[in-house]
Amino acid sequence: MTVDALDLVIRARRAVVGRAERECALGVRDGRIIAVEAYDAELGDAPEARLADDEVLLPGLVDTHVHVNEPGRTEWEGFLTATRASAAGGVTTIVDMPLNSIPSTTTVEALETKRAVARDQVHVDVGFWGGAVPGNEKDLAALHDEAVYGFKCFLVDSGVQEFPPLSAEEFTDAMTTTGSLGALMIVHAEDADALAHAPHAGGRAYSSFLASRPPQVEEAAVARVAREALRTGGRTHVLHVSSADVLPVIADARARGADLTAETCPHYLSLAAEDVPDGATEFKCCPPIRGTENQDRLWQGLADGVIDFVVSDHSPCTPDLKAQGGGDFDVAWGGIASVQVSLPAVWTAARERGLPLTEVVRLMATAPADRVGLPHKGRIAIGADADLCVLAPDDSFVVDPSVLRHRNPVSAYAGARLHGVVRRTYLRGTEVDPDGAPRGRLLRRGQR
């Protein structure tokens, strides 16, 4: 086959196309894939890139759970650094959470402020979530009209005063509104009442912190989310599942007709409570990293399709906030910065369990793109954006926080050897240079 006027041809002996691995040649024009042919296909005289024998061509990952924090807390993370780290990790599309920026993205005015700050800074494509908080129900329709990808809410204290949680009654009202809009409601599902009755978390012992957020805290909240999803018929999603005890609740709600999906995160799949040293608050996140038996059940939940995809929950802060309290888990800020190492962390754990790279791509690229409405992202297919990741799956590296591209050198993966080295990332057919001019775009729901 001959295709005229291509901008680029990429040839790979190994590429993840759909749910299979095959050799192929891609033809790219105007930032889109317009041909997926045999490796040796004649595709004109466009410039060519050929992958090395130890490299695999993947679609760029889609991470729908990233806290950029700019404006207001740019010292924690900003658009320039977050998207540099994303590109370095093979992530070509992120959707930014409505907190911990100031202002939070709970009004159209705040959304416009965030878009203005992000514009001209992003190395990958960036979309935005809106926030559902007490008192802003009247703002949800306007934010929906401004093409946010959906709305995030908390059922428990978020950790920042600008983004308070919804009460049970407020959550019911918000779900009614988002259901009527056809908008996706994504929920930090921990229950405030259950949390209030859990043991106190004070001290350096990780076991104490883990006991302070038992599985029942998640289970009670997910049960409420499931009830509201069934009542409203609305599109609903459970964020960062850490406890496998919630999986039967999700499966039952789906069997009864709920439009309910769920995600988990690399740290829940690759890190275990048994390995967290006391005082190592770089491992603190909410909900918490749990034990190996629970982790096995999370992987089974992925295999069974109860958990739909894997995203980072990249939630960085400054080193002093992680260290405050001298290792006291009750005092330190909770959140794990991981967007750059998400793919190798998940691939390292997956390969040990015998899962193929094709499944990792589905979970980290195609499935999240599909759920939020990005059908042209997260796949190698004709018509899709030529967002691509060149991965050396058998190569490995030791995580050095000082050379990661996110703003602050804090990582729960410090010193870990991970498999899967991202060697190049393409955004719409052009290789991303993290030190060059940003070329990413700001995305709007329903628009290409």
Q: Which of 135, 214, 199 is nearest to 167 (CA)?
A: 135
Which tokens go with 7?
């901008």
Q: Residue 3's pLDDT is what?
A: 65
Q: Which of 49, 289, 259 is nearest to 175 (CA)?
A: 259
DSSP-assigned beta bridge partners for residue 62: 93
Residue 28 contacts by C-beta under 8 Å, 6 or more apart in sequence? 6, 7, 8, 9, 10, 34, 386, 429
**1, 27, 43, 78, 195 from 39: Cα distances, Å:** 11, 11, 10, 40, 56
pLDDT tens track for 222-261: 999 999 999 999 999 999 999 999 999 999 999 999 999 9
Query: What's the mean per-residue pLDDT of the chain?
Result: 97
The answer to whether 64 touches 368, Cβ cutoff 8 Å, is yes
Is the confidence at residue 157, as pLDDT, over 80?
yes
**94, 324, 346 from 414: Cα distances, Å:** 23, 19, 15
DSSP-assigned letters across all residues of 157-184: --SSTTSPPPPHHHHHHHHHHHHHHTPP
As a whole-number percent, the residues of the chain with pLDDT over 90 amount to: 98
The answer to whether 107 touches 139, Cβ cutoff 8 Å, is yes
The residue length of the chain stands at: 448
Distance CA 146, CA 337 (A): 29
Confidence band of 337 (pLDDT split at 50, 70, 90): very high
Confidence band of 58 (pLDDT split at 50, 70, 90): very high
**Is the preceding peptide bond at 100 cis, omega within 30 degrees of 0?**
yes
Is the confidence at residue 2, as pLDDT, over 60?
no
DSSP-assigned letters across all residues of 272-287: -GGGPPTT-GGG--SS
Question: What mean pLDDT do residues 189-210 have?
Answer: 95
Going from the N-terminus, what domains does the chain have, and what CATH number goes with each? Answer: 8-51 (no CATH), 60-376+385-421 (3.20.20.140)
Confidence band of 202 (pLDDT split at 50, 70, 90): confident
Is the confidence at residue 4, as pLDDT, over 90?
no
Distance CA 300, CA 296 (A): 6
